[in-house]
Structure 1
Amino acid sequence: MRIKTGFLVLSVLGLGAAEAMAQPQVIPPPACQAGPNLDSFRAGAESGQSLARQAWNAMGTNACFSLERYASVLTNNVKRLIVPAGANNDYVHCRHAGIVQGVLRQVDVTWKSCEVECCGLGKPIAEMTGELYCNTAIDLGGVGVDRFLDRLPVTLCPFNVETCCDFRFIEYTRAFRNEAGVACLPYTQPPYELAWDQARNNSCISSPP
């Protein structure tokens, strides 16, 4: 049985909830690998994983038919946890990086409990990582942004996820403005284009888990 809903075409695969609720490994980016920054990253990752599990549980027994709503709820919740404008602080950025990575690693596990046309997974990945890139780039003036970004493994039908994530990351970051109204567009162009491309590749191009 196939059901079309928005940008997703879903069918239940029937895997157990235990797999969906597995604890995925998180890997701190370079700026967050020691001391208080590592503690902050880990706390953020735990919050992100918890947020993703709670959102999944809230979908109820028909969760596999509500993946579009699940992605929307997650994206909106993560946007509420943005880095405050002007928070030029590694500790704060590491927590934000942990939240995003925790959410996305849990989502990658959860999504595998359903068989899905995976373009839908690319959109929330792009928006959450795009938010992280833009807030960090704006706060740091585009310098050293890569220290807070790490490649996230997307192990479910990676080609479709990559294509849709790539398109949405470009669209989202070029249109992004933070809560103070500062645009991300300058940080998607020279002399920051290489960092932006790296962030997009880390977010959307698959790597082994």
Structure 2
Amino acid sequence: MLAMQYRITLPADYDMRIIRRRVETKAPLLDDLSGLGLKAYGIRERGVDGSPVHQYAPFYLWTAPEAMNRFLWGPGFQGIIRDFGRPSVEHWQGLAFERGPSAGAVPRTATRHATPAPAAADPAAAVEDALARLAGRTRKDGVHTTALGIDPRGWELIHFTLWEGSAPPSEPGDRYQVLHLSTPDLDELPRGRQW
């Protein structure tokens, strides 16, 4: 499994209805994309849930590198480049994926929490600690799905969680409204620890 996200920060006076219409018209095109475990079409709006910015920030879980590559070099991502310029694409090696008690519901919000693995610490211990937090999050009411990834280049851990309703205030990280969820190969994503 591979996790991927690009975050397009938009001007403070940007009409977010443009993004909403874009998702409404284009999101169904990926509902059958082979190799896509899930894509959460996330947005942040300035002044909502503490967001300082307007942002379009979809999050992906891919079943294999080939699927991610087909998307990045194909027409879907070329549309993003054409309309917004070429964004930086963050990606993480998948460490774990789980479905929560609300896996059958439609998620409305998402949280993204990035944390560095301390430089002086054993990275394996940091990963084990993050896996334990993911296991605890999986059992929380309202959790649709949750994933953990790592970028070993900078030793950054990413926790991404989809929620049926609003994320609890105690959940750390950036909060997103989820406008649509594409899950063509959700059942192909391996559950649990990825090694």
TM-score band, normalised by shorter chain: under 0.3
Greater share of residues in helix: 1
Greater share of residues in strand: 2
- Report the TM-score when normalising by structure 1: 0.25
Question: Which structure exhibits the higher relative contact order, with contacts defined as CA atoms closer than 8 Å and separated by 6 or more residues?
Answer: 2
